[in-house]
Amino acid sequence: MKACGPVNQLIYEFESRNGNKTLGSLKIENIRKSFGQVDVLKGIDLEVKDGEFVIFVGPSGCGKSTLLRVIAGLEDATSGDILIDGKKVNNTPPAKRGIAMVFQTYALYPHLSVRDNMGLGLKQAGKPAYEIKERIGIASNMLSLGDYLERRPAELSGGQRQRVAIGRAIVREPQLFLFDEPLSNLDAALRVNTRIEIARLHRQLKATMIYVTHDQVEAMTLADKIVVLNRGRIEQVGSPMALYNSPQTVFVAGFIGSPQMNLIDATKLGQSGAKTIGIRPEHIQVSKTSGEWKGSVIHVEHLGADTIIYLQTDFGPLTVRLFGEHNYDVDGVLYATPDAGRTYRFDNEGQVIKA
């Protein structure tokens, strides 16, 4: 979908009517959440500026969805404060927080048409009919949903349903958009398209967006700022490239980047002063004749643009990513050499050791 003339006009109206209303900052202060004996969030502090696209990423059970639900007001925090646009909203119901949420399962109302799905929230808020109609018009134009307004969710494809869910969020003109793994129910091709669409929406609406995913590719491609969560704590906050280039902990180093960073026991390499040595697969060169580490080829994956080689070495498995096409025989001997200055050293607590 291209942003053509009339759509730009609509977006202009959308922005000008809202003034600064679509912009919202978020501040989270020492949020804790326990379910019975289980501590899911163990003290989260975070600040999100107006118009930022922030992504919470982490493995299953790290608390990222719970944190999003606490921000939305669907769960109460055990302790701590949530401030949206500088106002404490701990006791404000979800509908009054100025937020909109897009769910993984779309969560469209099955018995309502697309139009009523998008309009329900505004109707509940007591907005006049002409305004509801106008806002639905704008949102459905932005998302090319104009032809489907009278249909029921059951009559739409997965991608269209997700667009309706996003449209339902847009018409609310929230200060804060919350996305809970919105792409994980879509197939691969649609996922890429919808990802681009969300990025475009963020540029057009200039709204603050918080997005939860377990897919680091989504996180790297969409975010201004990534928040890596692990076991209910924030591991690191930073831009995608900051996380890639200077991970602060072993966890972040292993989580960001694909294929995963090689994490090698330092003692096996005979290095002292560190517990773990990290080296990304793309920062290793191989040679058939000489090199720092000797290994035998276990498996080779040809991806066209990349070739990924799995080696077995004296200190364990090693993954190497080469650009372009390369042919190596399985069981053959290869020597691997890490790029100078591209290795990371981590201490016993998993913290990075500054060189």
3-state secondary structure the chain: CCCCHHHHHHHHHHHHHHCCCCCCCEEEEEEEEEECCEEEEEEEEEEECCCCEEEEECCCCCCHHHHHHHHHCCCCCCEEEEEECCEECCCCCHHHCCEEEECCCCCCCCCCCHHHHHHHHHHHCCCCHHHHHHHHHHHHHHCCCHHHCCCCHHHCCHHHHHHHHHHHHHHCCCCEEEEECCCCCCCHHHHHHHHHHHHHHHHHHCCEEEEEECCHHHHHHHCCEEEEEECCEEEEEECHHHHHHCCCEHHHHHHCCCCCCEEEEHHHHCCCCCCEEEECHHHEEEECCCCCEEEEEEEEEECCCEEEEEEEECCEEEEEEEECCCCCCCCCEEEEEECCCCEEEECCCCEECCC
- Shortest CB 27 distance to another protein, Å: 20
- Cβ nearer to another protein, comparing 104 with 312: 104
- Cβ nearer to another protein, comparing 180 with 218: 180
- Shortest CB 65 distance to another protein, Å: 11
Which residues contact another protein (rule: CB under 8 A)?
69, 72-74, 93-96, 99-101, 103-111, 120-121, 124-125, 152-154, 158, 161, 168, 172, 180, 185
- Shortest CB 297 distance to another protein, Å: 38
- Cβ nearer to another protein, comparing 11 with 74: 74
- Cβ nearer to another protein, comparing 108 with 237: 108
- Shortest CB 94 distance to another protein, Å: 5
- Shortest CB 95 distance to another protein, Å: 3
- Shortest CB 226 distance to another protein, Å: 24
- Cβ nearer to another protein, comparing 159 with 291: 159
- Cβ nearer to another protein, comparing 167 with 281: 167
